[in-house]
Structure formats: structure tokens, C-alpha cells
A and B are shown apart, each in its own frame.
Chain A
Amino acid sequence: MPGHVLLRLAPEALGELAGGLPDGTALISATNGKTTTAAMLATIVGGDRAVCRNVGGANLVSGVASALVARPPDAAVGVLEVDEAALPAVARAVAPRVVALGNLFRDQLDRHGELEMVADRWRRMVDGLPAATTLVLGADDPVVDALGDGRDLVVRYGIDDPAVARPTRDDAADSTHCVRCGAPYAYRAVYLGHLGDYACPQGDHARGGLDFAARDVRMDGVAGTAFRLDAPDGAHELRLPLPGLYNVENALAAIATAHVLGVPVARAVERLGGFTAAFGRFERLQVDGREAVLLLFKNPTGANEALRAIAGDLADSRVVLALNDRIADGRDVSWIWDIDLEGALDAAAGVVCTGTRAADLAVRLRYADLVADRIDIRTPPEAAFDAAVRDAPPGGRVYVLATYTAMLDLHRVLAERGLTRSFWEEAR
């Protein structure tokens, strides 16, 4: 029975289905990184148990219901990625063992509404959680950190390494004012967007103590990131085959959540070492002697972080930017003006814009002073991809930054050509 039919017939069925998982259910939500975090968590707990998880972006209530209905017969634990807006309804229904909340950024305002509205829904959701539910919180985000107030079972994670901090906050930074008094936070370190080590100058809110902290972070371009993980049981060395501070945040969330579900930290660290990227999250493939790197982008902070991760490896490369304005992408494309594109692609040999709003991107690049003869417009996405591959030197790289449905379109064609697994195969 499809999830949405089941829900209509028996809304309480969600709770019963989840209740049938002996080790309980983890819900994962965030504006950025929830899919990767859930994939990491499934990799970690999947090492010794059958996992019930939703895949393919099916993260609304119906998708969660479908995943629970179709769970493997021996499934012991649920790893469910949940849309920020759908989270309160799902949390109410399944009585989760752990809820992992990563971050809140402005994202697709036409669909989600303003950030503060989502934050208010999360606050009410947390108030309604059973006392036995553990919260795993991204403490670098002040709004998320404050959700732990007054709860006993809280685990906080974050980055603690001023050496990798940004010199200034992005213009697109969102939650920069104290959740209690509204004064601007003073930041000891900014890691991405408004995430960092902050304190209210009036003294009424500062980042909570970190149970899981990433220290001594070493970035190695698109090859990945290494860091020391200080956990409750001591220090561990983690080498993550995914680049960018975002993925450090995602790994911390996954390891902390797995720990709540009973996986020792050392085992989680070991299992993450062989993690492969989820759909469009630094997916890498070989095409005609060139390497293509596929990156989803959907909001300014995510895009900024993706651009930073590839910044050092752009020489001679070609870049494809794909912007669609379908409902899943967000129909309002204003947000591309909040990306710090100024200078970000200057090192690339050429940029091809594609998607239903390709020309919007081209205009954006023009105002970022990218020279016009390095901007090309081609549709559909596979035509842009083929042109970029053809123009890239042998052994060179093609970076594809695409919004969700543009990436789906491209992925479908690449799968037909046998270049990558299809998205749906990943569901197995």
C-alpha cells in the first residue's frame, strides 16, 4: 500500500510501523546536509543491522510512511531524513528515539516560508517530544543550539578550529541575532553562513558545550577532509572522502546520532572512511578521460560552501551551472544573487549555464565581472555537460553545480549512458 493511501486510511499506522523497529527510529532534518547525514548514518548503523530508510528525496510525510511500509522484514532501526516543514508531523507520529537537527538557512522562500517560521515550528515540535527522545543538535547554529534548552537528553556537535574559520560572515548569513534578546552575536569563529562559535554580548546565549567536536581540520580540496574527532570516549582521527566544512558537520551529526543508537565511535569512524557520496553530493565519474564532479546546490549558503570546496582545484576546469525553477528547485530564483560569485569562478577556463533559468545565471555571472566570452548558455543540461567535457583538457575536470531537478535530468541521461548508477538503484 503506498504511504499516502495508508496515511489517509490509518493516520496512527505510522507510529505502529515505527514502533515495530526494535532499536527505534532516528529522524534527521536540516536545511543543508540532511540527505548526506542520513546516508552516512545508514552506512554506520547498516554495518551490523538492517536499516529502514527513505531515499531519493522522499522526505515528506508520505515518503516516510512509504519507507516504513516497505521496510526490510528484518529491519531493526529507522534512519529517516525528514523535510524541515514535515518534521513536526512526522515527529508527532513516530515517537523517535533520536532527532538530529543540523541547521536552518533561508531556503526556497516561496515554498518553505521565512526561516523564523520554520524555527517556530521546530520549537513547538521539540516541546512535544517524549522525554525519552534524545536531541542531537548542531550547536554551531544558534537557533538549533537553543532548541536544547530545558531538555535532559541533548548531544551537541560542532566545529572547533579557528584555523579554518572564515575571516568574515557571508552576506547571506541568516540567524546572526541572539535568540533571546536580539542583540547581534559576537563570533569567535565563523565556519559557514551563520554557523560558528558565537556568544551574545549580553551574556544570555552562547554556543553550548560540544560533546562531539571536530578539531585540527585539514582540507584537501575535492579529495576530502581530515580532522580529529573529540568524542565522549576520547580522540579519534577521521579521514572523510568528501570535501568542505559542510561534510564535517554532516559526519559529526551522523557519528553523534549513531552513538545514541549504540554504535561505538571508533566503529562509526572506521565505517565512514569508505563512505561514497549520495546523489549529486560530490559524486565523481569518469567521462572520456575527464573527471566530472556533480554537486547539488539549492540555496546561497550551500552554494558558497560548494564553491569554496572546489576553489583550489579550478585551474583549467570547466564549470556547468544548472538552474531550474520547478517546484522542487524553488520557483523564485532570486537566491542566486545571494551567492558570493564575485571572483569564485575566475580560475575556471569556462562556464556553461543551463536549465530553465540559464540566462538568469549568465546575468548573475556578468555582474560578478566574469568575462562575457567565458560564459556560454546551452540547454538542455546534457548539452551543457557534453560541451564542457569536450572543452576540458584530457585529465581535466568538469564541475557541475545543479539545482535538484536539473541534476535529476542530467543524472537520468548519464545513467542511460552507463556513466553512473541510476538514482533509483541507489534506493536498494
Chain B
Amino acid sequence: MTLRIVPLYPELLSIYADRGNVRVLEQRARWRGIPVEVSPLPLGADLDPAAADAILIGGGQDRDQALVAEALLAQTPALRSAIADGVPVLAVCGGYQLLGHGYVDQGGQRTPGSGLVDLETQAGPDRLIGNVLVEVDLDGHRERMVGFENHAGRTTLGSGVEPLGRVLAGAGNDGVSGHEGCRVGRVIGTYVHGPLLPKNPWLADLVLGWACERRGLDGALEPLDDRLESVAADAAAAIALAERR
């Protein structure tokens, strides 16, 4: 029973060190003795929903976004079936935008997205860049999410979609709503990179636990020694608060 982590199009979608997220999931499984393998989906290949236990979608250069959107659109039915089957999806930055119905750029040109989540993104006049601190309510307990954002898009969630968290420092989805990211079942979207998972191990384990359940393994993960991660997250949170806009 090997856990399969599938990053989509890593050759195009890893501008903000998204491979770090993959590495963290892989290592946290391995350290617990869970057999794991990373099987990236190359551009042009078809996603086999049965062969994925966690799907990661990273961010790319703006110029590659249309290319990626087209490829992803073709995989939407497979993604939909994987999600229905309990496969977690973690989408960051450009990947987050692709979860939605579409992206309208500065010139008014619209690139359609996968429509997996009811959200819509429109380019703003400037880029939202800086450290982020987000408060996340996770099934009854509160977690802190830290990282860095760098995006021109302003993302609006559909009425039925919950944000992942509330922004304490930084811009989040649009710089005005106070919302950051989205969460629908096991689908998580966010603008936070850094990359995301190293300083937010609780989120890594949430995704990993879901992946284990989906593979029929016990989803209760034994705790790891995350003291270094805590120190790093404390430092990042302090910096984000100090430069709060």
C-alpha cells in the first residue's frame, strides 16, 4: 500500500518553490514509516484518479498560465472523480486560481479555469506582495498559517464556499474581505506559499491524514518533533505582524 502524491505539471508549476510542499508531504510520510512515492503528472499526460492519493497544484509564471489552464481543463473530469473519491487537493497561488471558474487579466481577457470550486479571479491594478499571517478554524480548533503571498489576482468566493481562514496580516484573497483561501471538503486553495507546508506542519498532516484514509490506511498520524517548524513559524508570524499593512 504505497501512498501516491501527484504534483500536477511541476515543470511549469513550481515558481514559488512548490516542490517544497511535495518534499514535506513525502518526508512526513516516510518518517512515519508510511511507504510513499511522488508521481508527477507531466504536461499532456492523463490523470488516473485511482492512482492518486493527494494532488498538489502549484503556481507558475503568468505567461504559462494559459497553457496550464488548457491542460488542466482537459483533466477536470478526472480531478472531479478523484475529489469525489476522497482525494485531497492542495492548490497554491496560480493553482488556487485554476480551481475556480476563470481568471480575467488586466486587459479583460478571460482564461477559463476548471470550475472545481465556485470562485472567480480578476487581476487587480497591482501585485499583493508580503508576509502573511492567517487564523484558521479547523474542525473546532484554531491553527495559525504563515507564509508569503505574491499575486495580482483578486479572488472572490461563491456564496457557498468557505474561506480557509481569516487574515491577521497580509492581503489574502483580495485585500479587502479579510478572507484567505478556500476550503471545500478536502479541496484547499490558498495564496500562501513560502512554500506553504514546511512552516505549517499541521496543514501538511491534515492533507497527509486524508491521503492515508483515502488509501485505506489509518489516518491518525503519530506526532513528529516539529520544534524547528514552530520556531520558524513564530519568526514568520512576528515579521508579518510587524509589517502589517
Using CB atoms and an 8 Å cutoff, list the residues of chain A in contact with chain B.
Answer: 106, 109-110, 114-116, 171, 176, 325, 331-338, 356-360, 362-364, 366-367, 369, 372, 375, 377
Contact = CB atoms under 8 A, between A and B. Distances in A.
B148 A115 contact: no
Given A109-B16, A338-B17, A332 B229 contact: no
B198 A363 contact: yes
Interface string B203-245: 0000000000000000000000100110110111001000000
A334 B148 contact: yes
A359 B129 contact: no
A176 B131 CA distance: 30
A367 B27 contact: yes
Contacts of A334: 16-17, 20, 148, 193-195
A176 B64 CA distance: 13
A360 B15 contact: no
B119 to A, nearest CB: 23
Contact of A332 (B23, B150, B231, B232): B150
B228 A109 contact: no
B61 A115 contact: yes
Contacts of A358: 235
A364 B239 CA distance: 19
Contact of B239 (A336, A356, A362, A366): A356
Contact of B24 (A171, A325, A367): A367
A357 B17 contact: no
Interface string B60-71: 011100000000
Contact of B16 (A116, A332, A367): A332
Given A356-B235, A362-B232, A367-B27, 11 more contacts: A109-B16, A109-B150, A110-B148, A332-B129, A334-B16, A334-B148, A337-B23, A338-B17, A360-B232, A363-B228, A367-B198
25 contacts: A106-B15, A109-B15, A109-B16, A114-B62, A116-B62, A176-B11, A332-B16, A332-B194, A333-B148, A333-B194, A334-B20, A334-B193, A334-B195, A337-B17, A337-B20, A356-B239, A357-B232, A359-B234, A363-B199, A363-B229, A364-B20, A366-B228, A367-B23, A369-B27, A377-B231
Nearest to B10: A171
Contact of B148 (A176, A331, A359, A364): A331
B242 to A, nearest CB: 11
A116 B61 contact: yes
Contact of B19 (A325, A337, A372, A375): A337
Contacts of B19: 171, 337-338
Contacts of A359: 228, 231-232, 234-235
The 5 A-B residue pairs whose C-beta atoms are closest, nearest first, are A337-B20, A359-B232, A337-B17, A334-B17, A359-B231
Q: Main SS of chain A's interface residues?
A: helix
Nearest to A111: B129
B148 A332 contact: yes
B130 interface: yes
A135 to B, nearest CB: 24
A114 B195 contact: no
Contacts of A366: 228
Interface residues of B, number: 32
A171 B18 CA distance: 11
B200 to A, nearest CB: 11
A362 B227 CA distance: 10
A52 to B, nearest CB: 35
Contacts of B24: 367
Nearest to A342: B23
Given A337-B23, A337-B198, A367-B24, A357 B131 contact: no
Contacts of A338: 14, 17, 19-20
Contacts of B61: 114-116
Given A114-B15, A115-B61, A364-B198, A331 B231 contact: no
A80 B16 CA distance: 31
A360 B24 CA distance: 13
Of the listed residues A337, A338, A369, the one surrounded by the most CB atoms of chain B closer than 10 A to its CB is A337
A362 B24 CA distance: 14
A377 B239 CA distance: 18
B63 to A, nearest CB: 5
Contacts of A336: 17
A403 B148 CA distance: 18
B195 A331 contact: no
Nearest to A114: B61
Contacts of B198: 337, 360, 363-364, 367
A269 B222 CA distance: 61
Interface in B1-50: 11, 14-17, 19-20, 23-24, 27
B234 to A, nearest CB: 8
Interface string B136-173: 00000000000010100000000000000000000000
Contacts of A375: 228
A372 B235 CA distance: 19
A375 B129 CA distance: 31
B217 to A, nearest CB: 22
B199 to A, nearest CB: 7
Of the listed residues B19, B148, B234, the one surrounded by the most CB atoms of chain A closer than 10 A to its CB is B148
Contacts of A369: 27
Nearest to B22: A337
B131 A331 contact: yes
A367 B129 CA distance: 26
A110 B129 contact: yes
A329 B15 CA distance: 18
A331 B242 CA distance: 13
Contact of B235 (A109, A331, A357, A364): A357
B124 to A, nearest CB: 15
